[in-house]
Amino acid sequence: MKNRIFNSITILGASIIMYAILAVLMYTEILDEYNGQLLTLAGIYVIISLSLNLMTGFTGQLVLGQAGFMCIGAYSSAIAIMTFHVPLFFAIIIGGVITALFGFLIGFPALRLRGDYLAITTLGFGEIVRVVMVNLKSLTGGAAGLKGVPSFSNTGNFITDDIIKFTWVFGFVVISLLIITNLMRSSHGRAIISIREDEIAANSMGVDTAYYKIFSFTIAAFIAGLGGGLYAAYFGYLNPVMFGFMNSANFVVIVVLGGLGSVTGTIIAAIGFTYAQEWMRVFQDFRMVIFGLALILVMLFWQKGIMGSKEFSIVGFARDLLAGRYSIKRIISKISKLIKKWKEKKQPDDRGVK
Amino acid sequence: MAVLDIQNLGIVFGGLKAVTNFNLTLEEGELVGLIGPNGAGKTTVFNILTGVYAPTSGDIIFNNTDSKKGPRSIIKLKPHKITQLGLARTFQNIRLFKDLTVLDNIRIAFHFNVKYTALQAILRTTFFFKEEEEITEKARELLKIFNIQHKENELAKNLPYGEQRKLEITRALATNPKILLLDEPAAGMNPQETQDLMHLIKFIRDKFKLTILLIEHDMSLVMGICEKIAVLDYGHTIAIGTPAEISKDPKVIKAYLGEEVEADA
Amino acid sequence: MREVVQQLINGLSLGFVYALIALGYTMVYGIVKLINFAHGDILMVGAFAGYYVLGRFGVSPVTMIIAFIISMAICALLGVIIERLCYKPLRNSPKIAVLITAIGVSILLENGARVLPFMGPNPKQFPTFKNSIHIIFGYTVSTVQILVIVVSVVLMLLLTYIVKYTKMGKAMRAVSYDMKAALLMGINVDRVISFTFAIGAALGAAAGVLFASSYPQIEPYMGFMPGLKAFVAAVLGGIGSIPGAMFGGVFLGVAETLTKGFISSELADAVSFGILIIILVVKPTGLFGKNTREKV
């Protein structure tokens, strides 16, 4: 019981402190308008990447059509606001629910298809969504796009607007995080992971793998839909071109870079990716060349991603901190251990023959 | 009343009759061996029993005397349903959840008995914590019986081979089965380990009141602990009987050693 | 009815282009189990190579043949280089790492082409035969359509010969069946894999020249959509199966042309992917794919 309260307080406290620091930085313009908005965009990327990590990292099903889910969420929310005048919060939730419905449907082919076949089916799904959005002109504005999606707030003061934008996205990041981490650290989550580990064994241990595949796809799609809704309000303009295959590929890249099945890794990678994409604009035409090259090099030399499947635990960190486990001596010894480990790793291993 | 009654079981893979007319009854508490040369169809029988393959003909009646539901046919059920009814298995080529901890391997097997919903897990209700603690406690107790409790936080893939086999049996037991199917539990073990395994199998049979059907190539193990043995060859049952009867059966000897050829001068 | 047959002819020529690209996907997949996302961009490189040859020497049957040979040779080399540098080091890595590498290669090729001074981002007019119309049995067929069908059929026959009757073909089939066993039998697996990439890329290059002849405008992103479609075709036919890729390509080309002709040109892409999903759900390994069952 005591533990439980400690955990809740730490998580709540960490979120509030994090939020407060960033909001103050934005208010005092230490984090200028440009960087503040970028941070907000990064939050949206975090949400969508987390949802993909649920499908690919935890459930083990390769999905190449995440932009399709995002697209459905974005358009549903935008249409809910613009045509049906639903308040923003509920519009985002509606976007999530409608996307969840599609996640549920895509779950069914996932029962029959394995590996690459499922990947290409989801890719096809993403493309179909895009084409359908172009053709549903009366609702979506077609290829010309949907203009004038109302933003989170319109006070006229840029700083206030930006902080409000950020607050919305931050709130949804926390919600998505709680859904995914709490789910994964429960028996239902373990059932989902057992599918990734060995579907046949999981089934033989009494896990209804079909149910949990569809369940995972539904939840993941719901979260991706939330991200889509935020995306719509963030940009204020939607166009099917924004949800192409390259977009889906970017999310796969984020999830793999962060480490499949690592929530913290995904967060770091998503934020890093958003910023890197922006910073690389100075290279102009060479930006995408460098990006392609970087992808290849990273995969050649650093496949496991930032975190592997490990997690950084804020609760564990707080506990260690309170117990005084972060004395300088300990930190030094830990670092030297890490270096030693890293050196050992560099030794060639014989995993080549499989 | 038999716990498991397999009647005229048969399966055809693209014209190949992998198993034909297989009959076997398991009485409560029995320890039965299923033997035969490679490719005789032993594992296929296991796969049909556990719902991985659907049989082409025949029926399987499962009577879990621990539950009140009474005997029922299980041939049309999905694997997880069959496990939930009380029939668990291990695999010939160990199939642990390699990248998960020993404890999680066991906890997954408890999953279908978990009563809290996903929503309760996300909201972290008191009921969730209570159940979760119970599962963990039960898993630890089980690990203790098999003396691997001190390794609960190790990844399954990092265990030595013998312990991986042990963990797989433990995991199957966590589903609270009435019948346990063991697919070559002694494969890759040395004589000493095989000896230990024999004791272990007898021990769990008594401790958990199980009925056990096992596939094994190690004859010392099969002859040493099984009360009844069925012999398969090319999908046909060529003999069923006690170890003593089986070891004298001419058809069995022929299947294993081939026809004796008269040496002409 | 007349119109249906006319559309079928049009579809057939598009389908053969898809089939040629799909062959590259399917052969590579059959051997190293990799979805080579960069394959569509090989098509683009092939089209550009053809563009320079035809632009330099003018368009005639002889220069056309030279264009094919040069662009196929360049792309074969490019395919081998990509395989050696990017895929070979990852042969024992998780699938998803290789997949991302392939996406990286694709991005690199597309955008590399955009920044290279002699290629550049702007669309270029592809020089090709004057597109005169022939009337055969009352149906119209263009010169380019005849070119597409003739070249495709010749290349497919050649490929079938190589795979079925040469030593290298036998080795390819062996490696695709069981790489480890092939290695133990003394087959030089690395060479076979390089050869497969070379052939796949060469077919892709030929498809590039044919595609550019049919839709005579080339630019760095031109390979993306046909690449994706051809991949769909390969999966439709059962990825890893050579006749499957041929059939899948033609089937998809015809389906797409018929949709464009009779339903809606804008929905054509959705229909292609829709067909893919339906076929996969009904037959999870494609039309000609082997039904593999995991051994328990």
- Domains by residue range for chain B, with CATH: 1-86+176-265 (3.40.50.300), 97-175 (no CATH)
- Average pLDDT over every residue of B208-213: 94
- pLDDT at position B135 is 95
* pLDDT of the residue at B260: 58
How distant, in Å, are the alpha carbons of A115, A166, B10, C17, C41 from that of C209?
33, 50, 56, 10, 13
Q: Is C174 on the interface with A (CB under 8 A)?
A: no
The answer on pLDDT for B10 being more than 60 is yes
Domain count, chain C: 1
Has residue A347 got a pLDDT over 60?
no
* Band of residue A325 on the pLDDT scale cut at 50, 70, 90: low
Q: For residue A195, give the 3-state DSSP assignment.
A: helix
Question: What does DSSP say about strands B31-35 and B211-215: parallel, antiparallel, or unpaired?
Answer: parallel
Q: Give A175-184 pLDDT, tens digit per residue.
A: 999 999 999 9
**DSSP string covering A257-289, please?**
HH-TT-HHHHHHHHHHHHHHHHHGGGGGGGHHH
A284 within a domain of the structure (yes/no):
yes
B113 alpha-carbon distance from chain centroid: 20
Residue A81 confidence (pLDDT) above 90? yes
111-150 in chain B: CB under 8 A from chain A: 111-112, 114, 116, 118, 121-124, 128-129, 131-132, 135
Segment (H or E) for C133: strand C133-136
Whether the per-residue pLDDT at A321 is higher than 80: the answer is no
Q: For residues A316 and C23, what is the distance between their CA atoms, to the nearest angstrom? A: 53
Q: What is the pLDDT of residue A344?
A: 65
Which of C98, C112, C224 is opposite residue A289, by nearest beta carbon? C112
Over residues A315-323, the mean pLDDT reads 71
- Determine, yes or no, domain membership for C91: yes
Does C266 contact A134 at a Cβ distance shorter than 8 Å?
yes
Report residue B263's pLDDT band, with 50, 70 and 90 as the boundaries.
Answer: low
The torsion angle over the Cα atoms of residues A121, A125, A128 and A134, rounded to 10 degrees, is -150
pLDDT the model gives residue B44: 93
Gap between the Cα atoms of C296 and B91, Å rounded = 7
Structural domain range at position C220: 2-282
Distances (CA, A) of B17 to B21, B53, B230: 10, 14, 18
Q: What is the mean pLDDT of chain B?
A: 91
Write down the mean pLDDT value for chain A.
Answer: 87
Q: Give the predicted TM-score (pTM) of the model.
A: 0.89
**pLDDT over 90 for what percent of chain C?**
49
Domain annotation covers residue A180: yes
Q: Which range marks the domain in which residue A90 is found? A: 2-312
CA distance A68 to A194: 27
Distance CA C137, CA A102 (A): 49
Note whether residue C252 is domain-resident: yes
Cβ of A120 within 8 Å of Cβ of C101? The answer is no
At B9, the pLDDT band (50, 70, 90 cuts) reads very high
Which residues of chain C are under the pLDDT cut of 50? none
- pLDDT at position A171 is 94
CATH number at residue A10: 1.10.3470
- The pLDDT value recorded for residue B111 is 95
The pLDDT of A204-208, averaged and rounded, is 95
The encoded tokens of residue A95 equal 């976007």
The token duo for A309 is 């499947």
Report whether pLDDT(A340) > 90. Answer: no
Phi, psi dihedral angles at A47 (to 5 degrees): -60, -45
Q: Inform me whether the pLDDT recorded for A316 exceeds 90.
A: no
Instruction: Find residues 277-296 of chain C whose CB sits inside 8 Å of chain B.
Output: 296
Q: For position A97, what pLDDT does the model report?
A: 98
Of all residues in chain A, what percent carry a pLDDT higher than 70?
Answer: 91
> In this structure, what token pair is assigned to residue A103?
């996640």
Query: pLDDT confidence of A345, banded at 50, 70, 90?
Result: low
The domain tally of chain A equals: 1
**Res B265: pLDDT:** 44
Residue C278: inside a domain:
yes
Q: Residue A126 above 60 pLDDT?
A: yes
Q: Output the six-digit token pair for A294.
A: 């970087």
Which tens digits make up the pLDDT trace of B159-209?
999 899 999 999 999 999 999 999 999 988 888 989 999 999 999 999 999
CA-derived radius of gyration, chain B: 20
pLDDT at A154: 80
Per-residue pLDDT averaged across B255-264, rounded? 64
- Residue C293 inside a domain? The answer is no
Greater model confidence, B102 or C215 = B102
Check residue A306 and give its pLDDT.
66
Question: A34 falls in which pLDDT band (50, 70, 90)?
Answer: confident
In a domain, C198, yes or no: yes
pLDDT of residue A351: 39
What pLDDT shows up at residue B128? 94
Give the pairing type, strands B87-89 and B179-183.
parallel
- Domain of C133, CATH number, reads 1.10.3470
In percent, how much of chain B has pLDDT > 90? Answer: 71
CA distance C109 to C286: 29
pLDDT at B262: 55
Q: Report the pLDDT value the prediction gives residue A115, as an integer from 0 to 100.
A: 80
pLDDT above 70 as % of chain B: 97
Question: Would you call B154 an interface residue with chain A, using a CB distance cutoff of 8 Å?
Answer: no
- How many CB atoms sit inside 10 A of residue A286's CB? 15
- Residue B95 has its nearest CB partner, among A4, A186, A201, at A201
Residue C120 phi, psi dihedral angles, 5° rounding? 75, 160
Residues B54-73: what's their mean pLDDT? 88
Span A209-216, mean pLDDT?
A: 96
Lowest average pLDDT, out of A65-69, A118-122, C68-72, goes to A118-122
| Residue C290 forms part of a structural domain | no
Q: Which residues of B touch C296 (CB under 8 A)?
A: 43, 47, 52, 91
Q: A233-237, B63-67, B206-210 — which is least confidently predicted?
A: B63-67
pLDDT at C199: 95
Residue A335 placed within a domain:
no
What pLDDT, in 10s, does the model give residues C59-106?
888 899 999 999 999 999 999 999 999 999 988 888 888 888 998 999
* Residue C291 lies inside a defined structural domain of this protein: no
Closest CA–CA distance from residue A146 to any residue of chain B (Å): 35
Instruction: Count CB neighbours of C263 within 10 A.
Output: 11
C-chain CB neighbours of A293 within 8 Å are 104, 108
Quote the DSSP letter at residue B101: B
